Structure 1
Amino acid sequence: MSQLVDKAKNFVAEKVANMKKPEATVTNVDLKGVSRSSVEYNAQVSVINPYGHPIPICQISYSLKSAGREIASGTMADPGSLKASDTTILDVPVNVPYSILVSLARDIGADWDIDYELNLGLTIDLPVIGDITIPVSTKGEIKLPTLSDVF
């Protein structure tokens, strides 16, 4: 009897390991808006759902780093669901306080941009399997707003 149970476990583990999973990539990070206290950037994430039914997204967590320091982090709860057998574009707002931008003056002063690393965790709820987190990471440069952007 125990051999049958072991065979069943191995069969299920093999099927789950070879199952297609949704794939995500960051397509763009751009300036969204400027307020008195912070600069808001928008990260666009493209997610491909290989399944024939929508998949609910539990949350998106993010961490924005520059010069080896975390300058913004947070979570976006219940951002919707992934379209069935299609690509879904998700907008993730990232707020960076001005006080942190001032501390990065050395990097900013050279070319008026921030070299960044954005790490996202897209947590989705797959039927039968449960919650899985898809890690997404990208590096690049974000231009800072000029006075004309503020006014």
Structure 2
Amino acid sequence: MSQLLDKAKAFVAEKVANMPMPEASVTDVDFKKVSRECVEYLAKISVSNPYSTPIPICEINYTLKSAGREIASGTIPDPGSLKASDTTLLEVPVKVAHSILLSIAKDIGADWDIDYHLDIGLVIDLPVIGNFTIPLSQKGEIKLPTITDMFA
């Protein structure tokens, strides 16, 4: 009896391991707007859903780092769901306080940009498996807003 149970477990584990999984990538990180409290950037994530049913997104976690330190982090609870058999574009607003930008002034330097490392965890609810996190990471440069951006 235990051999039969072990074979059944192995069969299920193999089937789950070979299931197609949703895939995601960060397509863009760019300046969005300036307010009195912060500078807001927008990360765009493209997620493909191989299943014929929509998949609920539980939450999106993000951490933005520059010069080796965390300058923004947060969680977006219940941002919706992934379209069935399609690609969904998600937008993650990242707010950075002005005081933090001043503290990394050395990194900003003469080129007026921030070298960044963005980590995103996209938590989705897959049937049978449960919550599954798709880890994403992106490195690059974000231009700081100019005076014309602030009043546009």
Name the TM-score class by shorter chain: over 0.9
Name the residue aligned to 2:84. 84
Question: How far apart are 1:148 and its partner, in Å?
Answer: 1.2
How big is each residue's C-alpha offset from its partner over 1:128-149, in whole Å with a ceiling of 9 and x where there is no partner?
1110000011101000001111
How big is each residue's C-alpha offset from its partner over 1:44-96, in whole Å with a ceiling of 9 and x where there is no partner?
00000000110000000000000110100000001000000000000000000
- 1:32-51 equivalences under 5 Å are 32-51=32-51
Cα separation, 2, equivalents of 1:92 and 1:62? 8
Name the residue aligned to 1:64. 64
How many percent of aligned residue pairs carry the same amino acid?
74
Cα separation, 2, equivalents of 1:150 and 1:136? 30
Cα separation, 1, equivalents of 2:88 and 2:80? 10
Cα separation, 2, equivalents of 1:44 and 1:100? 23
What secondary structure does 1:120 align onto?
A: strand
Aligned length in residues: 151
* RMSD of aligned Cα (Å): 0.6
Name the residue aligned to 1:74. 74
- 1:95-110 equivalences under 5 Å are 95-110=95-110
Name the residue aligned to 2:128. 128
Question: How far apart are 1:110 and its partner, in Å?
Answer: 2.5
Give me the TM-score of the superposition, normalised by structure 1: 0.98
Cα separation, 2, equivalents of 1:9 and 1:111? 57
What secondary structure does 1:65 align onto?
A: strand
Instruction: List runs of 5+ in structure 2 lacking aligned partners.
Output: none
Name the residue aligned to 1:52. 52
